[in-house]
A and B are shown apart, each in its own frame.
Chain A
Amino acid sequence: MGAGARVTTACSSRAEGPPPIIDAHAHVGSGFAPWRGGVDAADDLAATARDCGIDRVLVSCLGRDGLLEHPSPAELTEANLIARRAVSEHPELAGLVYVSPDHPRASLDEIERHIVDGPFVGLKLWIARKATDPDVGPLVERAAALGVPVLQHTWDKFVDGFPGESGAADIAELARRHPGAILQAAHLVGLGRRGVDTVAPYPNLLVDSSGGDAVEGQVEYAVRTLGADRVVFGTDAPLRDVHAALAKITRAAIDDAAAALVLGGNAARHYRRLAQGGQVRR
Chain B
Amino acid sequence: MSASGARGAGVGAPERRDVKDACCWVGPGPHLDGRHADALSAAPLRELLRRGGIAAGLVSPAAGLTARTQEEADAANATLATLPVGGPLVPAPVVAVGADADPEVAGRSVIRLAATGARAVRIRLDATVPGDAAAGTACLVRRTCAAVGLPLVVHVRVADPRCVPALPGLDECGDAAIAMVARAAPGVPLLVTGVPNGRHDGLLALHPDVVVDTAFLDGPDAVRRLVARAGADRVAFSGHAPYLSPGAGLAKVHGLSEEDARAVLGGTLASFGIAADRR
Interface set of A (CB-CB < 8 Å, partner B): 18, 21, 35-36, 44, 48, 50-54, 155, 157-161, 189-190, 192-193, 212-217, 221, 237-253, 263
Known contacts A214-B244, A216-B243, A253-B51; A242 and B162 CB within 8 A of each other = no
Residues of A within 8 A of B9 (CB): 52-53, 250
Please, which residue of chain B has its CB at the minimum distance from the CB of A214? B248
CB–CB A241/B219 < 8 A: yes
Assess the B165–A243 pair: CB atoms within 8 A.
Answer: no
Whether A237 lies near B165 (C-beta < 8 A) is: no
Q: A48-B220, A213-B216 are in contact. Are A251 and B11 (CB under 8 A)?
A: no
- Establish whether residues A247 and B35, one from each chain, have CB atoms under 8 Å apart when the complex forms: no
Measured between beta carbons, the chain A residues less than 8 angstroms from B159 are 213
Interface presence of B245 (CB below 8 A): yes
Chain A's nearest CB lies how many Å from the CB of B2? Answer: 9
Does the CB pair A212–B163 fall under 8 Å? Answer: yes
- A52 pairs with B245, CB closer than 8 A: no
Measured between C-beta atoms, what is the minimum distance from B183 to chain A in Å? 30
A278 to B69, CA, bound (A): 63
| Contact yes or no, B225 A214, CB < 8 A | no
Whether B52 pairs with A251 at a CB distance below 8 angstroms is yes
B35 adjacent to A51 (CB under 8 Å): no
Q: How far is the CB of B52 from chain A (nearest CB, A)?
A: 6
A158–B164 touching, CB < 8 Å: yes
| CB atoms of B8 and A216 under 8 A apart | no
Give 12 A-B pairs besides A48-B220, A158-B163, A160-B162 with Cβ atoms closer than 8 angstroms. A36-B255, A51-B10, A52-B10, A157-B162, A159-B166, A213-B244, A217-B39, A239-B219, A241-B222, A244-B248, A247-B245, A250-B10
Give the residue of B165, B221, B222, B251 whose beta carbon is less than 8 angstroms from that of A251: B251
With A214-B245, A251-B247 known as contacts, the answer to whether A21 contacts B8 (CB < 8 A) is: yes
CB distance from A201 to the nearest CB of B (A): 21
Q: Within 8 Å CB of B241, what residues of A?
A: 216
Please encode chain B, from 10 to 42, with 1 for each CB lying within 8 Å of some chain A CB and 0 for all others: 111000000000000000000000011001000
Asked if B36 and A217 make an inter-chain contact with CB atoms under 8 angstroms apart, the answer reads yes
CB atoms of B161 and A159 under 8 A apart: yes
Q: Does B147 contact A (CB under 8 A)?
A: no
B142 vs chain A, min Cβ distance (A) = 28
Q: Please state if A216 and B162 are interface contacts (CB–CB under 8 Å).
A: no
If over half of B's interface residues share one DSSP class (helix, strand or loop), that class is named, otherwise mixed; here it is loop
Q: Which residues of B contact A (CB under 8 A)?
A: 3, 6-12, 35-36, 39, 48, 51-52, 159-166, 215-216, 218-223, 225, 241-252, 254-255
Residues of B within 8 A of A192 (CB): 163
Tell me if B161 and A216 are in contact (CB < 8 A).
no
Q: Known A242-B10, A263-B8; judge A247-B247 contact (CB<8 A).
A: yes
B220 A240 Cβ-Cβ under 8 A: yes
Contact flag A250-B8 (CB < 8 Å), given A159-B161, A243-B254: yes
**A–B Cβ pairs within 8 angstroms, 5 of them:** A35-B219, A158-B163, A215-B243, A237-B220, A250-B10
Given the complex, which residues of A lie within 8 Å of B39, measured CB to CB?
A: 216-217
**In the complex, chain A residues whose CB is within 8 Å of the CB of B254:** 243
**Which chain B residue lies CB-closest to A215?**
B244
Contact assessment for A217 and B12 in the assembled complex, using a CB-CB cutoff below 8 Å: no
Residues of B within 8 A of A159 (CB): 161-162, 166
In the assembled complex, the Cα of A243 lies from the Cα of B222 at a distance in Å of 11
Closest Cβ neighbor of B221 among chain A residues:
A35
Residues of A within 8 A of B216 (CB): 213
Residue of B nearest to A211 (CB): B218
**With a CB–CB cut-off of 8 A, which chain B residues contact A246?**
8, 10, 251
Quote the shortest CB–CB distance from B159 to chain A (angstroms). Answer: 8
Name the one of B3, B51, B249, B255 contacting A214, with C-beta atoms under 8 angstroms.
B249
Residue in A212, A247, A263 whose beta carbon sits within 8 Å of that of B251 in the complex: A247
Closest-by-CB residue of B relative to A18 is B7
Q: Are B221 and A241 in contact (CB under 8 A)?
A: yes
B220 touches A216 (CB 8 A): no
**A51 contacts B8, C-beta separation under 8 Å:** no
Residue of chain B at shortest CB distance from A156: B163
Bound form: Cα–Cα A80–B241 in Å: 40
Chain B residues within 8 Å of A249, by CB: 8
Contact A193 B35 (CB under 8 A): yes
What are the residues of chain B within 8 A of A243 when measuring CB–CB? 10-12, 251-252, 254
Complex Cα spacing A38 to B226, Å: 19
Query: Which residue in chain B gives the minimum CB-CB distance to A54?
Result: B8
A51 and B11 form a contact (CB under 8 A): yes
Residue of B nearest to A259 (CB): B8
With a CB–CB cut-off of 8 A, which chain A residues contact B252? 241, 243-244
Q: Which residue from chain A places its CB closest to the CB of B252 in the assembled complex?
A: A244
Cβ–Cβ contact B162 & A190, under 8 A: yes
Contact B161 A158 (CB under 8 A): yes
In Å, the complex CA distance between A237 and B252 comes to: 13
Q: Which of A155, A157, A221, A240 contacts B218 (CB 8 A)?
A: A240
For A157, what are the chain B residues with a Cβ–Cβ distance below 8 Å?
A: 162-163
- Nearest chain-B residue to A219 (Cβ)? B245
When the two chains form their complex, are residues B251 and A244 in contact, meaning their CB atoms are under 8 A apart? Answer: yes
Q: Contacting A215 at CB < 8 Å: which of B3, B6, B51, B245?
A: B245
A175 to chain B, nearest CB (A): 22
